[in-house]
Amino acid sequence: MGRPLRKVSQDLIEQFLPSVTFDKTLIQDPHADFDQDAEELWLEIGFGGGEHLCGQARANPQVNFLGAEAFMNGIALMLRELLETGIENVRLWPEDVRPLLDSLPKESLSRVFLLFPDPWPKMRHHKRRFVNPKNLERLAYLMKPGAEFRLATDHSDYLEWMVEHMKASKDFTAQFDWDNLPTTRPEDWIPTRYETKALSQGVTCTYMTFKRL
Ligand SMILES: C[S@@+](CC[C@H](N)C(=O)[O-])C[C@H]1O[C@@H](n2cnc3c(N)ncnc32)[C@H](O)[C@@H]1O
């Protein structure tokens, strides 16, 4: 997927990825694949280059983290960061996140991050947008009551779509005022590569936090 991998990235994928890839045989008991038996499991969907996931894992060493990403160049960046920092509370799902969502146990997640998901701007591609009733229902099933869902975008049309779908969901409640959408990154949100690029081009980013009811 994406550009061909450089040799160094390919080496990282071949030599290091297997040791941090989530063991699918443990999907019904995901903490069993981590070195620590943590209280909480947090999931980042589409972690891109992994800067946010690594930052959160470092800031929250008592939490176990699952990161899903299908883009091999991003996974390679993430692997380099994991190797350099020695972070141990992260396991990767290096493919489409949807089979993971189909298989994790009910109420197994305490926090979910979906930061700058692909906007699929063309009308005929809107059905590919991750934020849709089916995925929201599935996330709600996987999240504990009171769990946090963080959602961000820099795309005005996708933002409207997100607002419409999140308002329609009976499973989530906004932690902000709908008439005043947050456009300043909260302090404990770590900037992502995609966001940094958008901000440098003068694009407004919106940062929404929801609670699972
Ligand atoms: C626009 S990028 C944003 C990346 C990162 N969150 C950031 O803010 O820099 C969206 C990412 O989601 C990933 N992605 C899209 N659909 C996915 C899926 N079904 N499963 C896993 N990753 C997915 C893409 O590969 C891409 O890296």
Check if 96 is active-site.
no
pTM for the model: 0.97
19 Cα–ligand 1 center, Å: 22
Q: Is 56 in the pocket of ligand 1 (CB under 6 A)?
A: no
Report the distance separating Cα 92 and Cα 87, nearest Å. Answer: 12
Residue 59 covered by a domain: yes
- CATH number of the domain at 168, please: 3.40.50.150
Q: Which of 11, 29, 96, 118 is catalytic?
A: 118
Strands (E), 69-187: 90-93, 109-115, 143-153, 172-174
Domain total of the chain: 1
- Spatial contact of 117 and 153, defined as CB atoms under 8 Å apart: yes
Residue-number span of the structural domain to which 37 is assigned:
7-212
Q: Residue 111 class from Cβ within 10 Å (0-12 exposed, 13-18 middle, 19+ buried)?
A: buried
Q: Which of 98, 116, 185 to mutate to test the pocket of ligand 1 (most atoms within 8 A of CB)?
A: 116
In a domain, 34, yes or no: yes
Amino acid 210: pLDDT: 98
Q: How far is the CA of 124 from the centre of ligand 1 (A)?
A: 19
In a domain, 1, yes or no: no
DSSP 213: -
Both structure tokens of 186 = 């909260």
Question: Which stretches of the chain drop beneath a pLDDT of 50?
Answer: none
- For residue 19, give the nearest of 35, 37, 3, 38 by alpha carbon: 35
Residue 50 dihedral angles phi and psi, to the nearest 5°: 85, 5
Strands 172-174 and 206-212: antiparallel
